[in-house]
Amino acid sequence: MNIPVDYEILRLIWWLFLGILLIGFAIMDGFDLGAATLLRTVARTDNERRQVLNAIGPVWEGNQVWLILGGGAIFAAWPAVYATAFSGFYIAMFLVLATLILRPVGFEYRNKIADPRWRTSWDWALFAGGLVPSLVFGVAIGNLLQGVPFRIDTDMRVLYEGSGLFELLNPFGLLCGLVSLAMLTGHGAVFVALKTVGPVADRARLAGALFPLLHVLLFTLAGLWIAKGLPGYALVGAVAHDGPSNPLVKEVAIVPGQWLKNYEAWPLLKIAPIAGLAGSILTAVLVVVKRPGLAFVTSAAAIFGTIATVGVSMFPFLMPSSIEPKASLTIWDSSSSQLTLFVMLCATLLFLPIVLAYTAFVFRVLRGKMTAEAIEANSTHLY
C-alpha cells in the first residue's frame, strides 16, 4: 500500500498528538482533580461542599475522555512505551486507578444518605481521588527524566528490574510530583472561583493565588536541579528516522546537562518553560483582581508550558533506560508500523474535532455559577 505520508513525519505527528492529548487531559481533567483536592479546604459546610461538587459534577466524567484518548494513543502508536510503562509503573498505575474509581462512586453515593459521617467519608475519598493522581502523574514524569530501570532482550521482551513503588518515590520524583500537584490544585482553585460565589469563591481565590506561585517555585527548583545535576540521554551517531522499530540498533550516551541541549539548538523552544512560569504568575495576579475567567486561560497556558517543557527537553526520547541506555525508547524506534500510524491519523483527524466541539457545547450549556440557593432548591437532584 502506498502511504502518502513519510514514516518519519508520521512519527513526529504522533509525538505531537501525544503531547496534545496529555496537555488536554491535564487542562480538562486537571481542574476537577484540583477541585477535589481542595474540597475540604475551600468548603467548610455540607452545602458549600456540594457547591464545589456540583461545579465539576456535570463535566468531570466527560473530561475523562482525555485520559482514555491519551492511554489509547500510547497503546496504539507507541506499544513498546505502553508495555514498558505499565510494567515499570504498575503499582503506581494501580494506585491511580484505585483512587480514580472512588470518584464516580463518591459523586453518585455521597448525597444518598444525609448522615454527616457518611458524607464525610466520601469527601475524603474524593479528596484522595484528586490528590493521588495529581501527585503520581508528576512522580512518573520525574522518573522518566531520570531513566527507568529496564532492559530489552534479543527477543524484544521488556525486562523491568526496578524494586517497585518506593523506588519511584525518590527526591527528584517527589519534587516533580509536587510540581504537578501544585499546578493542578491551582487550576482547580481557579475553576471553583469561576463557578461559585460567596465564601467558597473567596477561599478558592486565595488558593488560586497561592498554588500557582508555589508551582512557580517548585518548577524553578526542578529546572535548576536538571541544569545543575541531573544527567540526560543523547543519541550517538546517525539514527534512521524512518527505520524499523527496534530500540537495540542505536547507541545512547548519558550526558550531564543533555536535557537542556534542545533549547540551545532551537532557542524558540524556550517559550515552553517561559509559558509555564509566566502563566502561573499571571494566574495568581488575575485571581487576586477577581478575573477568574482570564485566570483559567493563563492557568491552562501554565499547564501547556510545563508539560511541553518536559516533552521538548526529552525529545526524541520517550522512555530512557537507566541500566541499559541503548534500550531507551525514542520516537524513531518504538512506534507502530507506518500503516498503523497513518490509519490512526485519519481516524484522529475525523473524531478529535467532534470531541472538541462536543466539549465546547457542554461547557456552553452548563455555563453559570453554582450557588447555595440552587443547592437548597434542588437538594434531591444534585450531587
Write out pLDDT tens, residues 11-67. Answer: 999 999 999 999 999 999 999 999 999 999 999 998 999 999 988 988 888 888 888
Cβ neighbour number for residue 84 with a 10 Å cutoff: 24
pLDDT value for 380: 62
Neighbours of 264 (CB within 10 A): 10
* The pLDDT value given to residue 381: 59
φ, ψ dihedrals at 256, nearest 5°: -60, 135
> Which pLDDT does position 376 carry in this prediction?
75
Asked whether the predicted pLDDT for residue 355 surpasses 80, the reply is: yes
The rounded mean pLDDT for the chain is 91
What's residue 382's pLDDT?
66
Residues 351/175, Cβ–Cβ less than 8 Å: no
| pLDDT at site 379 | 65
Q: Is the pLDDT of residue 121 over 90?
A: yes
374-377: Cβ within 8 A, 24+ apart: 374/54, 375/47, 375/50, 375/51, 375/54, 376/47
Amino acid 213: pLDDT: 97
The pLDDT of residue 68 = 85
Name the residue among 23, 53, 26 with its Cα closest to residue 38. Answer: 53
Q: What confidence tier does 113 reach under pLDDT thresholds 50, 70, 90? A: confident
E strands, the chain, are 150-152, 158-160, 231-236, 251-256, 317-319, 329-330
pLDDT of residue 111: 86
Q: What is the mean pLDDT of residues 249-255?
A: 91
Identify the pLDDT of residue 124. 94
The top-scoring range by mean pLDDT among 69-73, 232-236, 368-372 is: 232-236
CA nearest to 243, candidates 6, 2, 4, 1:
6
End-to-end CA distance of the chain: 53
Type of residue found at 237: G
Instruction: Return the ∠ at Cα 29 (arms to 49 and 35), rounded to 5°.
Output: 20
Is a pLDDT exceeding 80 seen at residue 307? yes
Closest CA relative to residue 235, chosen from 316, 322, 153: 316
Q: Which three cell numbers stand for residue 332?
A: 524513531
Q: What is the pLDDT of residue 2?
A: 78
**C-alpha cell, 346:** 485519519
Cis amide linkage into residue 316, ω under 30° from 0: yes
What's the pLDDT at 158? 84
Which pLDDT tens digit goes with each residue over 273-301? 999 999 999 999 999 999 999 999 999 99
